[in-house]
Amino acid sequence: MSERDPIPLILTAVASIVGTVGVLWYYGYVHFAKPEDALLLSEFTMLKTIPGEDYRVSLKPADQVAQCIDGVLVLFDTQQKGLTGVLVDDRKRAVRCTGQETPQLQE
């Protein structure tokens, strides 16, 4: 038996992996996220409204706009076009919405 040089096999394997990742990225199956692509859930706070009590919010609107799509609350960023995301809780569960109606207490 003759010994084979492992360097061409290693280079072929590395080139195959890099090529596969490159093709998947080109066709949109792989996305390399940048820090500016994500907003942390901790940047949002829910203000609980209690009847009869006042609360204050800024007059300047946020950079995000929310819309109910297929029962899920989707945020659209107005500063970075094309940046969208689903609002989730700490367990990565999507925040649901029920259209434009105000939820009523079930008795």
Q: Which of 45, 78, 44 is nearest to 64 (CA)?
A: 78
Question: The pTM is what?
Answer: 0.46
Task: Kindly list the domain boundaries of the chain, sorted by start residue.
Answer: 1-32, 38-101
d(CA 15, CA 23): 12
For 64-99, how does the pLDDT look when each residue is reduced to its tens digit (9 = 90+)? Answer: 888 888 888 888 878 777 667 788 877 878 888 876
Average pLDDT over residues 51-58: 81
Output DSSP code: residue 96: B
Q: Which of 58, 100, 64, 99 is nearest to 83 (CA)?
A: 64
| 75 and 62 Cβ atoms separated by less than 8 Å | no
| CA angle (77 as vertex; 40, 48 as ends), nearest 5 | 55
Q: Please, which pLDDT band fits residue 16 given cuts at 50, 70 and 90? A: very high
